[in-house]
Structure 1
Amino acid sequence: MSDEQNPYQEGKRAGAHPLVVVFAILLGLWLFVALIVPSSRNKQAAGTEGPAGPVVEDPEAAPVIYKVQTSITDMNVVAIVVPPEATDSQVAGLLRQLKSERLAGTLRDHIPATTPGHKLGDHAVADIYVFSDKHYAEVEALKTLALGAHAPGTLLPRAIPFEVTMEEVRGHYRIDLNDTGAPDKGSLGYTDESGVHSKRYRSIF
């Protein structure tokens, strides 16, 4: 008979202690959750995510025809309408065209003054919205945008929710000549100062 001690002796436990096994299983599960399952801390609130990618513009896109639908001077707002078939490249081109006209001093020839008589010009402050559906280029919808996403519900026109109106904005050109660092901001879609933006939002300039 061998002199080696039999590991399976009566009264002695064979293998690892159960607590060690349980601890190893828990550690494995924790590592799986930490490394494999995406952490909710890396997720942003809905409606505040950054754009999915850069705007793909077509330099050969034909200029889009537009019509001034509504102008509200006391809100510094103008709404223009483009055809539903207008592409994002055409809308982006329109925003760049409006910016060029502002810099050249000819914007007033095409867009009604939002600050008539102002020392900085007829468009010292302006929000120019581009829509394809003229229903959203009317006064009530524009008031909804002006009040913003965080206005008390009783102030918002009930017939046109902010979330719906926001998604209908094809383009937005914001002018603020008081902001000497960045007086012109243009984007596809809509965004506001709080960071809330539409699904189609892409910064143009």
Structure 2
Amino acid sequence: MDDQDKNSQQGKRVGLHPALVLFGVIVGLWLFITLIIPKDKNTKQHQAGMPSQPVQPLPGNAFTNDVVPVFTTSATIPDLNVVNLVVPSATTDSQIGALLHHLKAARQNNTLIDLIPATTPGDDLGNFAIADIYVFSEEKHGIAQTTQVLSRGAHAPSTIYGESIPYEVAMEQVRGHYSINLHDRTNPDTGTLGFGEEETGVYSKRYQKIF
């Protein structure tokens, strides 16, 4: 073999075959996507309106100048101790806050029974030992089915219950929520704008703790 043939053979052996280079690039990209870029299932998704830090209650005097809106009882669910109220669509959040304080004061003065139906009639702790009072600003949303969806929780599979109202939709329709639990002596009353579940960390967009 002359010098020209030797140089030709050596030239052929310099570098990698193009197919091997292409294969290496593909493997490298696959590793980059798999290991470097986080997958959706591994990335924590924040729920709508989820506070980035604990929400402090608004001071009670923030609502002293607001008129308590008129309201009507649109639905009751005795098995769940639920009462749904509907206010005019033009009601502001400040007025919702004033309404929640009004209901709380009535509960403390034992006059809440004059405003809404009892949720625990005959109970040793009174007519409202346990209650969940939801405030809506549209009649079509203030129905029992809306709060039935909410009572099952954010992670209850809707396919089992055959719900026509998705949880996320029902949650966003709540203008205010007043929860009573007289078995909790340290904090029997909880009121919020919007709706939230502290257990699951799911909150509506307008969520704000009132008391």
Give TM class, smaller chain.
0.7 to 0.9
RMSD: 2.1
Aligned to 2:126: 121
Q: How many angstroms does 1:93 deviate by?
A: 0.2
| 2:47 is the alignment partner of 1:46 | yes
Identity %: 46
Aligned letter for 1:100? A
The structure 1 segments of at least 4 consecutive aligned residues displaced by more than 6 Å after TM superposition are: 51-54
Count matched residues.
163
| 2:89 is the alignment partner of 1:90 | no
Residues 1:137 and 1:155: Cα distance change in structure 2 (over 3 Å): farther
Which segments of 5 or more consecutive residues in structure 1 lack a partner in the other structure? 1-42
Q: Secondary structure at the match of 2:180?
A: strand
Q: Secondary structure at the match of 1:134?
A: coil
RCO comparison, higher one (Cα < 8 Å, 6+): 2
Aligned letter for 2:132? D
Q: How many angstroms does 1:82 deviate by?
A: 0.3
- Structure 2 distance, partners of 1:121, 1:165, is 30
Aligned to 1:194: 200
- Structure 2 distance, partners of 1:110, 1:157, is 33
Q: How many angstroms does 1:199 deviate by?
A: 0.4
Contact 2:149/2:163 (8 A) holds in 1: no
Aligned letter for 1:99? K
- Structure 2 distance, partners of 1:125, 1:54, is 21
Residues 1:199 and 1:53: Cα distance change in structure 2 (over 3 Å): farther
| 2:179 is the alignment partner of 1:174 | yes
Contact 2:56/2:209 (8 A) holds in 1: no
Which segments of 5 or more consecutive residues in structure 2 lack a partner in the other structure? 1-43
- Structure 1 distance, partners of 2:141, 2:79, is 19
- Structure 2 distance, partners of 1:112, 1:90, is 22
Aligned to 2:67: 62
Q: How many angstroms does 1:75 deviate by?
A: 0.8
Higher helix share: 2
- Structure 1 distance, partners of 2:184, 2:130, is 10
Aligned letter for 2:153? G
Aligned to 1:204: 210
Contact 1:80/1:128 (8 A) holds in 2: yes
Which shows bigger deviation, 43-52 or 154-163? 43-52
- TM-score normalised per structure 2: 0.71
